[in-house]
Amino acid sequence: MSLRLRIGLIVFFVICLALASTAGAQPIDACGTLVSGVNQCVLFDIGGGTRYLLDQHGGHVVGDMFRVVGTIQPTCFSVCNQGNGCVTVSSITSCAIVAPPPSVPGDRRCGLCGIGLPVTMAPVAAAWLVLRARRRR
């Protein structure tokens, strides 16, 4: 076997290993609660029966609710024998509930108050038309 063929095979296997390690990885950005699993495992429960094993808890304990951003590894191996995969955590933050912005006239979200924009724009449009007519004279 030539040296060139050997190097080609080595490069091929390295690429295959790299692709296999990231196969099936999906991003996650979810709020959930730490729960106790079997074999003394702590899992991140995001509801609907979906649980993940986190690579770090950020100092949180069972019962704490927080937000995790990271990457799901669905084919991980652990002693838990439970859950939908492992998560490589990028960041852990609080689950802040963000209120929707208030409705203001003209934003077309508040029903009848949507007439606010035409009412406020009418004088501006009229002034523009008057100035335009004066310039043409």
Taking the alpha carbons of 76, 79, 84, 87 in that order, is the dihedral positive or negative? negative
- Distance CA(112)–CA(114), nearest Å, equals 5
Q: Per-residue pLDDT tens for 29-42?
A: 999 999 998 888 89
- What residues form DSSP beta bridges with 98? none
**CATH, domain 25-93, list 3.40.190.290, 2.40.50.500, 1.10.8.60, 1.10.357.10:** 2.40.50.500
- How do the domains of the chain map onto residue ranges? 25-93, 104-137
The reported pLDDT for the residue numbered 103 is: 59
What is the pTM assigned to this prediction? 0.54
Greater confidence, 78 or 116?
Answer: 78
Please, which pLDDT band fits residue 100 given cuts at 50, 70 and 90?
Answer: low
Percent of the chain with pLDDT over 70: 66
